[in-house]
Amino acid sequence: MNDPGMDLEIWKQLKKKWTVLDASGHKVKVDFKLIADPNNEENILAIDVIQHIDGKSVTETVQRNAGEGYAPLGIANLSQKALVEVYKGMMSQLRSQSKLSDVDVIVTMLSTSSTSGELRGHLEVPNAPVQSSVLVNYQHYYVLNALREKMIEQVSRGWSKVKAIYHSGDLEFHFEY
């Protein structure tokens, strides 16, 4: 990807990652999804780089400009409490898609730069070794990144990782450096 609107370093990091994985014998398939401003389809805000690595999905959302998608998604200037409620609804939706009655939804977002983050999602049956990968997208990235930024404002620490766990209507967050 040689788009001057996106950070070239992110693409170099991804290319290196795929080369290493491929050389190690991992099966890697990559899809790209352009994310347009809902009010102006000509304005590309981000790209979801959907990586299927050995059957598990990892999405890297790459923004053109940090936070540019907050307003079009309706999350700009939301309080931390409001962002949590928005994300609770998103996680509830993921859980209902699973058709399982007792399953946890776990989504991890790792900030890889000021304009990108890696998302991993999976469903986990409590007290059982059953896990399955679930595809998450730019909406998860934007809401989790906005929450991460709110936490940084509150505690003045550079949190780089957010883990959200949803179980039976309860949502908990873990922030890591």
| Residue 89 resides in a domain | yes
Please give the pLDDT value at position 169. Answer: 84
What residue numbers bound the domain in which 82 lies? 8-176
Q: Pick out the chain residues at pLDDT < 50.
A: 1-4
- Three-state SS at 51: strand
Q: Which residue has the tokens 């003045």?
A: 156
The amino acid sitting at 162 is V
Q: Is 90 exposed, middle or buried (0-12, 13-18, 19+ CB in 10 A)?
A: buried
| Residue 71 resides in a domain | yes
Tally the residues of the chain.
Answer: 177
How far is 90 from 8, CA to CA, in rounded Å? 31
Q: What is the pLDDT of residues 79-129, one digit of tens each?
A: 999 999 999 999 999 998 887 778 999 999 999 888 999 999 999 988 777
Number of domains in the chain: 1
| Residue 145 resides in a domain | yes
Please give the pLDDT value at position 126. Answer: 80
| Residue 1 resides in a domain | no
| Residue 37 resides in a domain | yes
Please give the pLDDT value at position 4. Answer: 45
| Residue 3 resides in a domain | no
